[in-house]
Amino acid sequence: MSVLAGIEACLARIERFDPSINAFTAIVRDRALARAAAIDAARAAGTSPGGELEGVPFAVKNLFDIEGLVTIAGSRIEAERANPRPAAADALAVARLEAAGAILVGALNMDEYAYGFTTENTHRGPTRNPHDLTRMAGGSSGGSGAAVGAGLVPIALGTDTNGSIRVPASLCGAFGLRPTFGRLGRGGAFPFVFSIDTIGPLARSVRELALAYDAMQGPDAHDPGCAQRAAEPSVGALQADAAGNLAGLRIARLGGYFEEMATPEGVAALDVACAALSGLTSVGRADWPDAAIGRAAAFMITAVEGGALHLDDLRHFYDIMEPHSRDRFLAGALAPAAWVHRAHRVRRRYIERVDTLFADHDILLAPVVPGVAPTIGDDWIEIRGRRFPSRPSMGLLTQPVSCAGVPVVAAPIAREGLPIGIQVIAAPWCEANALRVAMALEQLGVACVSVPAAFA
Protein backbone atom coordinates (compact mmCIF):
# COMPACT_ATOMS: atom_id res chain seq x y z
CA MET A 1 0.00 0.00 0.00
CA SER A 2 1.26 3.47 -0.80
CA VAL A 3 1.75 5.99 1.99
CA LEU A 4 -0.97 8.13 0.42
CA ALA A 5 -3.44 5.25 0.52
CA GLY A 6 -2.54 4.57 4.13
CA ILE A 7 -3.12 8.19 5.17
CA GLU A 8 -6.38 8.32 3.24
CA ALA A 9 -7.52 5.20 5.11
CA CYS A 10 -6.51 6.76 8.45
CA LEU A 11 -8.43 9.96 7.67
CA ALA A 12 -11.48 7.96 6.61
CA ARG A 13 -11.34 6.02 9.86
CA ILE A 14 -11.17 9.23 11.88
CA GLU A 15 -14.12 10.67 9.95
CA ARG A 16 -16.14 7.52 10.61
CA PHE A 17 -15.39 6.87 14.25
CA ASP A 18 -14.30 10.11 15.90
CA PRO A 19 -17.80 11.62 16.23
CA SER A 20 -18.59 8.96 18.83
CA ILE A 21 -15.52 9.61 21.02
CA ASN A 22 -14.73 13.27 20.28
CA ALA A 23 -10.96 12.89 20.35
CA PHE A 24 -10.06 15.32 17.54
CA THR A 25 -10.48 19.09 17.53
CA ALA A 26 -8.81 19.68 14.14
CA ILE A 27 -7.84 17.59 11.11
CA VAL A 28 -4.96 18.74 8.90
CA ARG A 29 -6.15 16.77 5.90
CA ASP A 30 -4.48 18.71 3.10
CA ARG A 31 -1.16 18.83 4.91
CA ALA A 32 -1.24 15.09 5.65
CA LEU A 33 -2.11 14.13 2.08
CA ALA A 34 0.58 16.40 0.64
CA ARG A 35 3.15 14.93 3.01
CA ALA A 36 2.12 11.38 2.08
CA ALA A 37 2.32 12.13 -1.65
CA ALA A 38 5.80 13.61 -1.17
CA ILE A 39 7.02 10.47 0.61
CA ASP A 40 5.61 8.27 -2.17
CA ALA A 41 7.38 10.42 -4.74
CA ALA A 42 10.67 10.18 -2.84
CA ARG A 43 10.30 6.41 -2.65
CA ALA A 44 9.68 6.21 -6.38
CA ALA A 45 12.77 8.32 -7.02
CA GLY A 46 14.88 6.27 -4.64
CA THR A 47 15.60 9.28 -2.43
CA SER A 48 13.49 8.37 0.61
CA PRO A 49 15.60 7.93 3.77
CA GLY A 50 13.21 5.22 5.02
CA GLY A 51 12.88 4.35 8.68
CA GLU A 52 10.19 2.61 10.72
CA LEU A 53 8.17 5.80 11.26
CA GLU A 54 8.02 6.70 7.57
CA GLY A 55 4.37 7.15 6.60
CA VAL A 56 3.06 6.44 10.12
CA PRO A 57 0.16 8.78 11.03
CA PHE A 58 0.18 10.58 14.37
CA ALA A 59 -1.86 13.25 16.15
CA VAL A 60 -1.04 15.67 18.96
CA LYS A 61 -2.71 17.18 21.99
CA ASN A 62 -3.93 20.61 20.94
CA LEU A 63 -1.40 22.44 23.10
CA PHE A 64 1.38 21.59 20.60
CA ASP A 65 1.95 24.25 17.95
CA ILE A 66 0.85 23.21 14.48
CA GLU A 67 1.86 25.61 11.75
CA GLY A 68 -1.16 27.56 10.54
CA LEU A 69 -3.45 26.69 13.47
CA VAL A 70 -4.18 28.67 16.62
CA THR A 71 -2.83 26.68 19.57
CA ILE A 72 -5.95 26.54 21.74
CA ALA A 73 -4.69 24.34 24.62
CA GLY A 74 -8.23 23.15 25.27
CA SER A 75 -9.51 26.69 25.84
CA ARG A 76 -11.86 29.20 24.22
CA ILE A 77 -9.62 32.02 25.39
CA GLU A 78 -6.79 31.50 22.89
CA ALA A 79 -9.18 31.74 19.93
CA GLU A 80 -11.05 34.73 21.37
CA ARG A 81 -8.15 37.03 22.18
CA ALA A 82 -8.06 40.35 20.37
CA ASN A 83 -5.60 39.09 17.77
CA PRO A 84 -5.41 35.30 17.81
CA ARG A 85 -2.41 34.25 15.78
CA PRO A 86 -1.89 30.88 14.13
CA ALA A 87 1.36 29.17 15.01
CA ALA A 88 4.20 30.24 12.73
CA ALA A 89 5.93 26.85 13.00
CA ASP A 90 5.42 23.36 14.34
CA ALA A 91 6.40 22.47 17.89
CA LEU A 92 9.83 20.87 18.08
CA ALA A 93 8.39 17.44 18.90
CA VAL A 94 6.07 17.59 15.88
CA ALA A 95 8.90 18.68 13.60
CA ARG A 96 11.17 15.88 14.85
CA LEU A 97 8.54 13.20 14.33
CA GLU A 98 7.89 14.45 10.81
CA ALA A 99 11.64 14.55 10.16
CA ALA A 100 11.62 10.84 11.04
CA GLY A 101 8.94 10.27 8.40
CA ALA A 102 5.75 10.30 10.49
CA ILE A 103 2.73 12.23 9.20
CA LEU A 104 0.65 14.58 11.34
CA VAL A 105 -3.11 14.17 10.82
CA GLY A 106 -4.63 16.39 13.49
CA ALA A 107 -4.98 17.92 16.95
CA LEU A 108 -6.62 16.29 19.96
CA ASN A 109 -8.97 17.29 22.76
CA MET A 110 -7.73 17.95 26.29
CA ASP A 111 -8.61 19.52 29.63
CA GLU A 112 -8.33 23.30 29.40
CA TYR A 113 -4.70 24.37 29.89
CA ALA A 114 -3.93 20.75 30.91
CA TYR A 115 -5.41 21.24 34.41
CA GLY A 116 -7.48 18.10 34.80
CA PHE A 117 -7.55 14.31 34.72
CA THR A 118 -10.80 13.67 32.81
CA THR A 119 -11.02 15.68 29.51
CA GLU A 120 -14.55 16.72 30.33
CA ASN A 121 -13.97 19.84 28.26
CA THR A 122 -16.97 22.15 28.45
CA HIS A 123 -15.95 24.04 25.30
CA ARG A 124 -15.40 21.12 22.92
CA GLY A 125 -17.36 18.48 24.78
CA PRO A 126 -15.97 15.53 26.74
CA THR A 127 -13.77 12.95 25.08
CA ARG A 128 -15.36 9.54 25.58
CA ASN A 129 -13.65 6.31 26.46
CA PRO A 130 -13.67 4.01 23.41
CA HIS A 131 -14.23 0.98 25.66
CA ASP A 132 -17.43 2.48 27.12
CA LEU A 133 -18.75 5.72 25.67
CA THR A 134 -20.43 6.66 28.95
CA ARG A 135 -17.07 6.79 30.73
CA MET A 136 -14.17 9.23 31.01
CA ALA A 137 -11.14 8.98 28.76
CA GLY A 138 -8.88 10.42 31.45
CA GLY A 139 -6.81 13.53 31.08
CA SER A 140 -5.48 15.90 30.48
CA SER A 141 -4.33 14.13 27.30
CA GLY A 142 -7.69 12.41 26.94
CA GLY A 143 -7.96 12.90 23.19
CA SER A 144 -4.55 11.28 22.80
CA GLY A 145 -5.51 8.24 24.88
CA ALA A 146 -8.86 7.79 23.17
CA ALA A 147 -7.43 8.19 19.66
CA VAL A 148 -4.84 5.46 20.24
CA GLY A 149 -7.22 3.26 22.27
CA ALA A 150 -9.81 3.39 19.47
CA GLY A 151 -7.21 2.62 16.80
CA LEU A 152 -7.64 5.96 15.03
CA VAL A 153 -3.88 6.62 15.07
CA PRO A 154 -0.99 4.37 16.14
CA ILE A 155 0.89 7.21 17.89
CA ALA A 156 -0.23 10.38 19.66
CA LEU A 157 1.61 13.04 21.63
CA GLY A 158 0.54 14.21 25.04
CA THR A 159 1.97 16.05 28.02
CA ASP A 160 2.32 14.75 31.55
CA THR A 161 2.63 17.08 34.52
CA ASN A 162 0.91 15.06 37.21
CA GLY A 163 -0.17 12.02 35.20
CA SER A 164 -1.74 13.41 32.05
CA ILE A 165 -0.22 10.80 29.73
CA ARG A 166 -0.40 7.86 32.12
CA VAL A 167 -4.01 8.34 33.27
CA PRO A 168 -5.62 8.37 29.78
CA ALA A 169 -3.28 5.61 28.61
CA SER A 170 -4.45 3.46 31.52
CA LEU A 171 -8.16 4.22 31.19
CA CYS A 172 -8.24 3.89 27.38
CA GLY A 173 -5.93 0.88 27.13
CA ALA A 174 -2.82 2.35 25.47
CA PHE A 175 0.90 2.44 26.19
CA GLY A 176 2.23 5.80 27.35
CA LEU A 177 5.62 7.21 28.29
CA ARG A 178 6.40 10.04 30.67
CA PRO A 179 10.17 10.59 30.22
CA THR A 180 12.56 11.93 32.83
CA PHE A 181 11.89 15.61 33.52
CA GLY A 182 14.13 17.54 31.12
CA ARG A 183 14.67 14.68 28.68
CA LEU A 184 12.50 15.94 25.78
CA GLY A 185 12.39 19.56 24.65
CA ARG A 186 9.08 21.36 25.15
CA GLY A 187 9.60 24.10 22.57
CA GLY A 188 6.30 25.01 20.94
CA ALA A 189 4.19 23.24 23.59
CA PHE A 190 1.85 25.46 25.62
CA PRO A 191 3.17 25.40 29.23
CA PHE A 192 1.32 24.49 32.39
CA VAL A 193 3.82 23.95 35.24
CA PHE A 194 7.34 24.65 34.01
CA SER A 195 9.08 22.82 36.85
CA ILE A 196 7.16 19.54 36.33
CA ASP A 197 5.86 19.49 32.70
CA THR A 198 7.02 16.73 30.39
CA ILE A 199 6.01 15.73 26.87
CA GLY A 200 5.78 12.17 25.62
CA PRO A 201 4.11 9.66 23.30
CA LEU A 202 1.18 7.28 23.59
CA ALA A 203 1.16 4.30 21.24
CA ARG A 204 -0.40 0.95 20.40
CA SER A 205 2.87 -0.96 20.99
CA VAL A 206 6.03 -0.55 23.02
CA ARG A 207 8.17 -0.48 19.88
CA GLU A 208 6.16 2.40 18.42
CA LEU A 209 6.36 4.16 21.79
CA ALA A 210 10.16 3.80 21.75
CA LEU A 211 10.48 4.86 18.10
CA ALA A 212 8.51 8.05 18.74
CA TYR A 213 10.46 8.77 21.92
CA ASP A 214 13.80 8.28 20.18
CA ALA A 215 12.78 10.57 17.30
CA MET A 216 12.03 13.40 19.73
CA GLN A 217 15.27 13.29 21.71
CA GLY A 218 17.86 16.03 21.47
CA PRO A 219 18.61 19.53 22.77
CA ASP A 220 16.06 22.32 22.62
CA ALA A 221 17.32 25.89 22.41
CA HIS A 222 13.84 27.18 23.32
CA ASP A 223 13.45 25.13 26.50
CA PRO A 224 15.86 26.03 29.33
CA GLY A 225 14.46 23.08 31.29
CA CYS A 226 15.66 20.57 28.70
CA ALA A 227 18.85 18.89 29.88
CA GLN A 228 21.65 19.09 27.32
CA ARG A 229 22.18 15.37 27.09
CA ALA A 230 23.14 13.29 24.10
CA ALA A 231 20.34 11.18 22.65
CA GLU A 232 20.22 7.72 24.21
CA PRO A 233 18.39 5.42 21.77
CA SER A 234 15.98 3.04 23.47
CA VAL A 235 14.90 0.87 20.54
CA GLY A 236 18.19 -0.98 20.53
CA ALA A 237 17.64 -2.03 24.13
CA LEU A 238 14.45 -3.89 23.21
CA GLN A 239 15.68 -7.44 22.77
CA ALA A 240 13.94 -10.05 20.68
CA ASP A 241 12.79 -12.12 23.66
CA ALA A 242 11.14 -11.22 26.94
CA ALA A 243 13.77 -12.91 29.10
CA GLY A 244 16.53 -10.94 27.37
CA ASN A 245 14.67 -7.73 28.06
CA LEU A 246 14.95 -8.28 31.80
CA ALA A 247 18.56 -9.42 32.05
CA GLY A 248 20.19 -7.82 35.08
CA LEU A 249 17.24 -5.67 36.13
CA ARG A 250 16.29 -5.49 39.83
CA ILE A 251 12.49 -5.26 39.95
CA ALA A 252 10.13 -4.66 42.86
CA ARG A 253 6.45 -3.87 43.35
CA LEU A 254 5.43 -0.92 45.47
CA GLY A 255 3.25 -1.55 48.50
CA GLY A 256 2.01 0.80 51.19
CA TYR A 257 0.48 3.96 49.76
CA PHE A 258 0.30 2.53 46.21
CA GLU A 259 -1.87 -0.37 47.34
CA GLU A 260 -3.86 1.55 49.94
CA MET A 261 -4.93 4.13 47.33
CA ALA A 262 -5.93 1.56 44.71
CA THR A 263 -9.16 -0.37 44.28
CA PRO A 264 -9.08 -4.19 44.12
CA GLU A 265 -9.07 -3.87 40.29
CA GLY A 266 -5.96 -1.73 40.38
CA VAL A 267 -4.14 -4.10 42.73
CA ALA A 268 -5.27 -7.10 40.67
CA ALA A 269 -3.73 -5.60 37.52
CA LEU A 270 -0.45 -5.22 39.39
CA ASP A 271 -0.71 -8.80 40.67
CA VAL A 272 -1.07 -10.09 37.11
CA ALA A 273 1.97 -8.17 35.88
CA CYS A 274 4.14 -9.22 38.83
CA ALA A 275 3.14 -12.87 38.48
CA ALA A 276 4.10 -12.85 34.81
CA LEU A 277 7.44 -11.19 35.44
CA SER A 278 8.17 -13.57 38.32
CA GLY A 279 8.34 -16.35 35.75
CA LEU A 280 11.36 -14.61 34.23
CA THR A 281 13.12 -12.93 37.14
CA SER A 282 12.83 -12.14 40.83
CA VAL A 283 10.26 -9.50 41.79
CA GLY A 284 10.69 -8.08 45.28
CA ARG A 285 8.74 -5.54 47.32
CA ALA A 286 9.56 -1.94 48.15
CA ASP A 287 7.98 1.13 49.73
CA TRP A 288 8.12 4.52 48.05
CA PRO A 289 9.21 7.10 50.63
CA ASP A 290 6.73 9.83 51.60
CA ALA A 291 4.39 9.32 48.62
CA ALA A 292 1.61 11.42 50.15
CA ILE A 293 4.07 14.24 50.89
CA GLY A 294 5.34 14.15 47.31
CA ARG A 295 1.80 14.36 46.02
CA ALA A 296 1.05 17.30 48.30
CA ALA A 297 4.15 19.16 47.09
CA ALA A 298 3.22 18.52 43.46
CA PHE A 299 -0.32 19.73 44.15
CA MET A 300 0.89 23.02 45.63
CA ILE A 301 3.51 23.67 42.93
CA THR A 302 0.96 22.89 40.21
CA ALA A 303 -1.68 25.22 41.62
CA VAL A 304 0.67 28.14 42.21
CA GLU A 305 2.70 27.96 38.98
CA GLY A 306 -0.44 27.33 36.94
CA GLY A 307 -2.33 30.11 38.69
CA ALA A 308 0.50 32.61 38.17
CA LEU A 309 0.67 31.73 34.47
CA HIS A 310 -3.05 32.35 34.00
CA LEU A 311 -3.58 35.26 36.39
CA ASP A 312 -4.26 37.69 33.53
CA ASP A 313 -6.79 35.27 32.03
CA LEU A 314 -8.51 34.99 35.40
CA ARG A 315 -8.87 38.77 35.44
CA HIS A 316 -10.17 39.16 31.90
CA PHE A 317 -11.72 35.84 30.84
CA TYR A 318 -13.00 34.34 34.07
CA ASP A 319 -16.53 33.79 32.71
CA ILE A 320 -15.37 31.64 29.81
CA MET A 321 -12.70 29.64 31.61
CA GLU A 322 -13.25 25.95 32.21
CA PRO A 323 -15.36 25.70 35.39
CA HIS A 324 -13.68 22.44 36.40
CA SER A 325 -10.32 24.19 36.77
CA ARG A 326 -10.67 27.98 37.05
CA ASP A 327 -11.29 28.08 40.81
CA ARG A 328 -8.18 25.93 41.35
CA PHE A 329 -6.20 28.32 39.15
CA LEU A 330 -7.58 31.23 41.18
CA ALA A 331 -6.71 29.59 44.50
CA GLY A 332 -3.18 28.95 43.26
CA ALA A 333 -2.78 32.52 42.04
CA LEU A 334 -3.78 33.82 45.48
CA ALA A 335 -1.61 31.42 47.51
CA PRO A 336 1.18 33.03 49.56
CA ALA A 337 4.60 32.83 47.95
CA ALA A 338 5.95 31.19 51.10
CA TRP A 339 3.77 28.14 50.45
CA VAL A 340 5.20 27.34 47.05
CA HIS A 341 8.72 28.12 48.27
CA ARG A 342 8.24 25.56 51.03
CA ALA A 343 6.75 23.06 48.56
CA HIS A 344 9.87 23.31 46.38
CA ARG A 345 12.09 22.76 49.44
CA VAL A 346 10.04 19.70 50.39
CA ARG A 347 10.29 18.48 46.80
CA ARG A 348 14.08 18.71 46.79
CA ARG A 349 14.33 16.58 49.94
CA TYR A 350 11.70 14.22 48.56
CA ILE A 351 13.67 13.66 45.34
CA GLU A 352 16.78 12.87 47.37
CA ARG A 353 14.88 10.20 49.30
CA VAL A 354 13.39 8.70 46.14
CA ASP A 355 16.82 8.59 44.51
CA THR A 356 18.07 6.37 47.32
CA LEU A 357 15.38 3.84 46.41
CA PHE A 358 17.06 3.33 43.03
CA ALA A 359 20.32 2.34 44.69
CA ASP A 360 18.70 -1.06 45.27
CA HIS A 361 16.14 -1.22 42.46
CA ASP A 362 16.12 -0.57 38.71
CA ILE A 363 12.36 -0.90 38.17
CA LEU A 364 9.41 -0.28 40.47
CA LEU A 365 5.86 -1.35 39.64
CA ALA A 366 2.61 0.27 40.78
CA PRO A 367 -0.95 0.84 39.54
CA VAL A 368 -1.50 3.93 37.35
CA VAL A 369 -4.96 4.89 38.58
CA PRO A 370 -7.04 3.81 41.57
CA GLY A 371 -9.49 1.90 39.37
CA VAL A 372 -11.25 1.76 36.02
CA ALA A 373 -12.66 4.83 34.27
CA PRO A 374 -15.50 6.59 36.13
CA THR A 375 -18.68 7.59 34.33
CA ILE A 376 -18.58 11.03 32.70
CA GLY A 377 -19.98 13.54 35.17
CA ASP A 378 -19.23 11.46 38.27
CA ASP A 379 -18.03 13.72 41.07
CA TRP A 380 -16.84 10.94 43.37
CA ILE A 381 -14.95 7.66 43.27
CA GLU A 382 -14.74 5.05 46.03
CA ILE A 383 -11.47 3.49 47.16
CA ARG A 384 -11.64 0.84 49.87
CA GLY A 385 -14.83 2.25 51.36
CA ARG A 386 -13.68 5.89 51.27
CA ARG A 387 -15.05 8.54 48.92
CA PHE A 388 -12.70 10.83 47.00
CA PRO A 389 -13.45 13.65 44.53
CA SER A 390 -13.03 12.00 41.15
CA ARG A 391 -11.32 14.71 39.08
CA PRO A 392 -8.23 15.37 41.25
CA SER A 393 -8.09 11.81 42.60
CA MET A 394 -7.35 10.16 39.28
CA GLY A 395 -3.81 11.36 39.95
CA LEU A 396 -3.45 9.84 43.41
CA LEU A 397 -0.88 7.31 42.18
CA THR A 398 0.79 9.30 39.42
CA GLN A 399 1.51 12.58 41.22
CA PRO A 400 4.04 11.16 43.70
CA VAL A 401 6.03 9.78 40.76
CA SER A 402 5.75 13.03 38.77
CA CYS A 403 7.09 15.00 41.72
CA ALA A 404 10.27 12.88 41.62
CA GLY A 405 10.77 13.58 37.91
CA VAL A 406 11.58 9.95 37.01
CA PRO A 407 10.62 8.12 33.78
CA VAL A 408 7.53 5.91 33.66
CA VAL A 409 5.82 3.69 31.11
CA ALA A 410 2.10 3.11 31.54
CA ALA A 411 1.36 -0.42 30.34
CA PRO A 412 -2.26 -1.55 29.75
CA ILE A 413 -2.88 -4.91 31.42
CA ALA A 414 -4.94 -7.40 29.41
CA ARG A 415 -8.18 -8.13 31.25
CA GLU A 416 -11.88 -8.56 30.64
CA GLY A 417 -13.93 -5.40 30.93
CA LEU A 418 -12.58 -1.87 31.15
CA PRO A 419 -8.83 -1.24 30.76
CA ILE A 420 -6.49 -0.47 33.61
CA GLY A 421 -2.74 -0.02 33.55
CA ILE A 422 0.37 -0.27 35.68
CA GLN A 423 3.30 2.11 36.05
CA VAL A 424 6.73 0.75 35.13
CA ILE A 425 8.98 3.25 36.93
CA ALA A 426 12.71 3.54 36.25
CA ALA A 427 15.61 5.54 37.67
CA PRO A 428 16.25 9.01 36.19
CA TRP A 429 17.48 8.94 32.57
CA CYS A 430 16.81 5.18 32.31
CA GLU A 431 13.78 5.21 30.00
CA ALA A 432 15.16 2.20 28.14
CA ASN A 433 14.82 0.03 31.26
CA ALA A 434 11.14 0.92 31.68
CA LEU A 435 10.54 0.20 27.99
CA ARG A 436 12.33 -3.16 28.30
CA VAL A 437 10.02 -4.31 31.08
CA ALA A 438 6.93 -3.02 29.25
CA MET A 439 7.99 -4.95 26.15
CA ALA A 440 8.49 -8.10 28.21
CA LEU A 441 4.93 -7.75 29.50
CA GLU A 442 3.74 -7.16 25.95
CA GLN A 443 5.54 -10.24 24.62
CA LEU A 444 4.11 -12.34 27.44
CA GLY A 445 0.61 -11.21 26.39
CA VAL A 446 0.04 -9.54 29.74
CA ALA A 447 0.12 -5.97 28.41
CA CYS A 448 -1.55 -5.11 25.13
CA VAL A 449 -3.69 -2.57 23.29
CA SER A 450 -7.04 -4.10 22.41
CA VAL A 451 -9.18 -1.97 20.09
CA PRO A 452 -12.87 -2.32 21.03
CA ALA A 453 -15.02 -4.29 18.59
CA ALA A 454 -17.10 -1.19 17.85
CA PHE A 455 -13.98 0.43 16.32
CA ALA A 456 -12.61 -2.65 14.56
What radius of gyration, in Å, describes the C-alpha atoms of the chain? 20
Is residue 199 within a helix (H) or strand (E), and if so which, with residue range? strand 198-203
Catalytic annotation, pick one of 61, 141, 144, 170: 61
- The one catalytic residue among 140, 141, 170, 402: 140
Nearest to 165 by CA among 197, 141, 190: 141
The two counts, helices (H) then strands (E), for the chain are: 17, 17
DSSP β-bridge partners for residue 132: 129
Nearest in space to 276 (alpha carbons), one of 240, 243, 228: 243
Rounded to whole angstroms, the Cα distance separating 324 from 305 reads 17
Whole-number Å distance between alpha carbons of 50 and 52: 7
CB atoms within 10 A of CB 238: 21
Catalytic-role residue among 75, 141, 144, 164: 164
Q: Please say whether the dihedral angle defined by the alpha carbons of residues 143, 117, 224 and 400, taken in this order, is positive or negative.
A: negative
What is the C-alpha separation between 377 and 451, in angstroms, rounded? 24
Q: With contact defined as beta carbons under 8 Å apart, do 32 and 105 qualify?
A: yes
Asked about 195 being catalytic, the answer comes back as no
CA distance 116 to 435: 26
Selection from 203, 84, 193 nearest residue 140 by Cα: 193
Q: Where on the phi/psi map is residue 119: left (φ > 0), alpha (ψ -120 to 50), or beta?
A: left
Q: List the one residue out of 139, 161, 143, 208 whose CA is nearest residue 408.
A: 161
140 is catalytic: yes
Active site residue 144: no
Q: Report DSSP state, residue 145.
A: H
Query: Distance from CA of residue 153 to its chain's centroid?
Result: 15
Distance between CA atoms of 170 and 149, rounded to whole angstroms? 10
Cα–Cα distance list, 321 to 79, 153, 314 (Å) = 12, 30, 8
User: Which residues are known to be catalytic?
Assistant: 61, 140, 164
